[in-house]
Structure 1
């Protein structure tokens, strides 16, 4: 079995999230998602996610092409997570191009194009601007 792992916050789930997870799954037989904890998201982005971890976990876990979800609590533990889950492939969006090449010694690293014109940050800003 070829295991694929990816990481993200997946806040305000949108078509870009769905498409990248679907495409990630095509690179193997089992898709594992490291879902950022609320605390990790705050440390990365300086804001809490719109949806708490428990809701994001339920949403991502419900997708038919996602086989397993775990809580990512530290960016510094990516290698540990990859090894613990025995991942053969790490898939990330191409906005991270080159940033995970250090893991090529333990798995294949693939960067997929993001869905154009879709961004969680932009969606949140649009919603905040509406009366």
Structure 2
């Protein structure tokens, strides 16, 4: 069985999220998704997500192509999460290209193209202006 793992905040869930998760599942038998905790997101972006970590995890868990969801509490634990879930492939959006190559001794890494013209940050800015 080939296990694929990916990570993200998945705030203000949109078609770009669906696309990368659906494509990721095609690379393996099982798709595991690490959802950034509220505190981790704050440390990365200096803001909390719009939706709580519990709500974001529930949204992801409801998708037919996601097999398991867990809470990612630290960027430094990526390799530990990969080992814990016995993942043989890490998939991330190509906006992260090269940033996770350091895990290659433990598993393969693939960066998939993002869906054009969609971004959570941009969506939040648009909503703020309304």
Q: TM-score, normalised by structure 2?
A: 0.99
Hey, what does 1:42 align to over in structure 2? 42
Structure 2: stretches of 5+ with no match in the other structure? none
Structure 1: stretches of 5+ with no match in the other structure? none
Corresponding residue SS for 1:60: helix
Hey, what does 1:88 align to over in structure 2? 88
Task: Report the aligned-residue RMSD.
Answer: 0.4
Hey, what does 2:29 align to over in structure 1? 29
Hey, which bits of structure 1, 4+ residues long, moved more than 6 A?
Answer: none
Corresponding residue SS for 2:48: coil
Distance in structure 2 (CA, Å) of the matches to 1:104 and 1:57 = 27
Hey, what does 2:65 align to over in structure 1? 65
Query: Deviation of residue 50 (structure 1)?
Result: 0.1
The C-alpha deviation readout for 1:71-103, integer Å capped at 9, x for no partner, is 000000000000011001000000000000011
The C-alpha deviation readout for 1:2-41, integer Å capped at 9, x for no partner, is 0000000000000000000001111100000000000000
Distance in structure 2 (CA, Å) of the matches to 1:81 and 1:45 = 22
Aligned runs of 1:1-131 on 2, under 5 Å?
A: 1-130=1-130
Q: TM-score, normalised by structure 1?
A: 0.98
